[in-house]
Each structure stands twice: as structure tokens, then as C-alpha cells.
Amino acid sequence: MLTSRCVLPVAAGLAEGPCWWTERQVLLWVDIEASRIGLFDPATGNNDFLHLPAHVGAVVPTSVGDLLLATAAGLMRMDPSNGAVTLLSDPEADRPGNRFNDGKCDPWGRFWAGTMAYDFEPLAGSLWRLDGDGGIKRQRSQLTISNGLAWSQDRGTLYFIDSPTLSVMAFPLTVAGEIAGDPSICLHIPEDWDALPDGMCIDAEGMLWIALFGGGCVTRWDPLRGRLLDRLALPCRQVTSCCFGGPNLDQLFVTTARRGMDPVAVKAEPLAGGLFQADVGVKGLPADYFQVLG
């Protein structure tokens, strides 16, 4: 079993959405319900926060050097030099009980982000795609907790998690990156693990790394065979997401949470809500950026 180390004991309520920003050599991550973005420098151990006017589910860099955000008030751009935000689109303005959750850019430079209801209402969420020209289109509806996203290296498959299904769906894609049909189930988390699949990333060997909320670990899977390959243990149960980073993309960064934990639970898991790092013996892929057109 692989092991990790806590590199930022920040005690976040709901840390999520790690994304490696290559140009700045920092890890972007979000603390959802604290409405803030973290910029963590693993070389120095320093972390800076940028604050937002709404809960934030995901953050990614853009091709022009600023940040794209998925928030409870819609999709926004942020200037990281001064924290100024600009609203791009709020496709679920008619659903104030929803917020954006996980999001990621595809190899074509488009941003995919899913929504969920604050009260976890079944089938209340959707998966959206924002294109570089500002157009936005619903890709999937009737989701409950839209979560992890990853694309195969041949660009032929989108992997996607709707957490309560305990499954990873594999959507076939056209050469232009459009969903080309109904998904298949490529792997399933056993119900007796008492854990939900949460955030996800893919490594340079095409294997999926899936954070297990309630499971205290990140698991590595072969999506073509549905086979569990490895497990990275963490000293807290609420493991939320993961991504590869570092100068050589050979470090796995993992976010965790302490949401809903009482003092007894926090005493048992004092590092809950921290940011973790691990050498897992395999490299990841560079994060795709949002390609701004025009």
C-alpha cells in the first residue's frame, strides 16, 4: 500500500478540485464552502488564498493567464493578481438550490463542470460544457452529485463519476470531442466499502486514480478491465480529489475534508481537511487549460 504525507494542515471544511498550474509551479485547489481558492507552492510550503463572493467547486488556468471558476453563482473568470471576477454564464440561475461541483478542461481546451443540489436532491444536477467562445451547452442531465472527470490519452473516451452510482461511466467521443452515445460502466466501487467515488484523474499509463470519500484512500484502477491496481492510504476518511503535479508531474496531490465532523472525530483525524502529497511511482499528464477564443 502506498503512503502519503500532509504538506498543508489547513483544516479545510471541504477542500476539492486540485489542479497543477505548470507556469507558476503551484497547485490550485478550492475550499468550497469557505468560498476561497488556494495556491500552494510545494517548493516552499507557502499557500495563498483568493476569496470569492460565492461557493467555488472548481478552478482551472486559462490560456491567457487568468483563472476560470465554477461557482454557486455560475461560471466566472478571475484575475489572480487582484482577485477581480467577471461572470461568464449562470446556466442554472433558475435553480438557486444548486451549485457547481467538480470541473475540468478537456484536451480541446473546453471546460466541463457539473452541478448538484445543496440538499443532495436526486437527479437535480447536470453536466455542462463551456467553449472558448463563451457558448455553453448541457451535456448530461439527471445527475445527483456530478464529480470526477478524465479523458483518455487517445481522446476517445470521457470518464465521469456521478458519486451515488458508485460507478465510473465511460462515454465514447468523436474526433471533435463530442459525446457519441450512451456510456458504459467501466468500473464499480463495491458497496461494502462504504465509500463514494469522488474526484478523479488519469496517469500517463491510462490508469484512473479515484478519491474515495469515506474510504480514507485514493485508489488506482485499470478502466479497461475494471480492476483495482493500488491504494494510497490517508489518515482521514473524507478524501475528495487528486491530481498529478510537481516539476516532473510525478507527485500525486490529494485534497481532504472535515465537513460535518464533531470534535471527537477531529481529534481522531487531526489532519482531516489537509492537503497531502505522495510519490506513487508513476507520472501524470499536464492539466489542460481553458482555451480562450477571440
Residues identified as active-site = 198
DSSP 251: E
Spatial separation of the C-alpha atoms in residues 130 and 254, rounded to whole Å: 26
All cell numbers assigned to 233: 492510504
Q: Burial of 291 by CB count in 10 Å (0-12 exposed, 13-18 middle, 19+ buried)?
A: middle
- Amino acid symbol at 170: A
Spatial separation of the C-alpha atoms in residues 97 and 4, rounded to whole Å: 36
All cell numbers assigned to 150: 478524465
3-state secondary structure 39-53: EEECCCCEEEEEECC
Burial 6-35 (b: 16+ CB within 10 A, else e): bbbebbbebbbbbbbbeeeebbbbbbbbbb
- Residue 171's nearest CA partner among 186, 162, 184 is 184
Spatial separation of the C-alpha atoms in residues 189 and 212, rounded to whole Å: 9
DSSP 11: -
Cβ atoms of 221 and 253 closer than 8 Å: no
